[in-house]
Amino acid sequence: MSLWEYANPVKFIRATDRVLPWLAGLAGACLVVGLIWGFFFTPDDFRQGSTVKIIYLHVPSALMAINGWLMMLVASLVWIVRRHHVSALAARAAAPVGAVMTVIALATGAIWGQPMWGTYWAWDPRLTSFLILFLFYLGYIALWAAVENDDTAADLTSILCLVGSVFAVLSRYAVNFWNQGLHQGASLSLDKEENVADVFYLPLLVCMGGFILLFIALVFLRTQTEIRARRMRVLLARERMA
């Protein structure tokens, strides 16, 4: 029993079918609990007022925007090294989800930035690198859509993902060099003493868990759809041949 068994599409679909309702249900429960807890049962911040509550959407979506790309990178590597089709399809399935997460992070950040910084947008390193990340997502999705042959598309996009990751990291540090920003430093990390106060931290953790589960559930679902769509194309082609 190893992870690679799920490279078999039938096994993948069977296994994900079993966990998908749980994942989706848990994601929904986490989001409902976390958001309601965050929005209605936490005190207002003494300087930011109630706008601080947008953190429950902003931070988790930003988390998943970056980790979504990371997941695509891993899946692309698996495709290049071991040629498992499910892996390529999972990378393809994750891209739009990650792109949407990036948009959510950018939009909620802009809405938060207006009352706090007095501007919707500033060319701050973090904001700028997220915008660049979004462009990378767009290019990746467009390349998938443009190439007709599935295997060729998988190869091309996985190499683009590798090269893009390197350049995304480069851009991250380049914009840091280019402009100093308004955005605060990391206020959540495992190894730091001082984090966000616990009243805000706990519901935020629940929301982050909810977004992670939601991302996994959506990727599983979309991967299943991709597998089934590909199967259907094969069946149709076979029908036409007969």
Binding footprint of other proteins on the chain (CB under 8 A): 132, 135-136, 138-139, 142-143, 146-147, 152, 155-156, 159-160, 162-164, 167-168, 170-171, 174-175, 177-178
Closer residue to other proteins, CB minimum distance, 103 or 174: 174
Q: What is the spatial distance between Cα 134 and Cα 100, in angstroms, rounded to a whole number?
A: 9
Residue 147, phi-psi category: left (phi > 0), alpha (psi -120 to 50), beta (remainder):
beta
Q: What is the spatial distance between Cα 38 and Cα 112, in angstroms, rounded to a whole number?
A: 16
- Write down the least CB distance from residue 29 to other proteins, Å: 37
Closer residue to other proteins, CB minimum distance, 65 or 175: 175
Closer residue to other proteins, CB minimum distance, 156 or 202: 156
Closest CA to 225 of 22, 16, 71: 16
Closer residue to other proteins, CB minimum distance, 69 or 200: 69
- Write down the least CB distance from residue 173 to other proteins, Å: 8
3-state DSSP call for residue 32?
A: helix
The residue with tokens 């501007």 is 119
Distance from CA of residue 10 to its chain's centroid? Answer: 25
- Write down the least CB distance from residue 89 to other proteins, Å: 17
3-state DSSP call for residue 1?
A: coil
Tell me how far apart the terminal alpha carbons of the chain are, to the nearest angstrom. Answer: 39
- Write down the least CB distance from residue 171 to other proteins, Å: 5
**Angle separating helix axes 55-82 and 85-117, nearest 10 degrees:** 160
Token digits of residue 8 = 């078999």
Closer residue to other proteins, CB minimum distance, 22 or 167: 167
3-state DSSP call for residue 140?
A: helix
- Write down the least CB distance from residue 174 to other proteins, Å: 4
Closer residue to other proteins, CB minimum distance, 148 or 193: 148
- Write down the least CB distance from residue 122 to other proteins, Å: 16
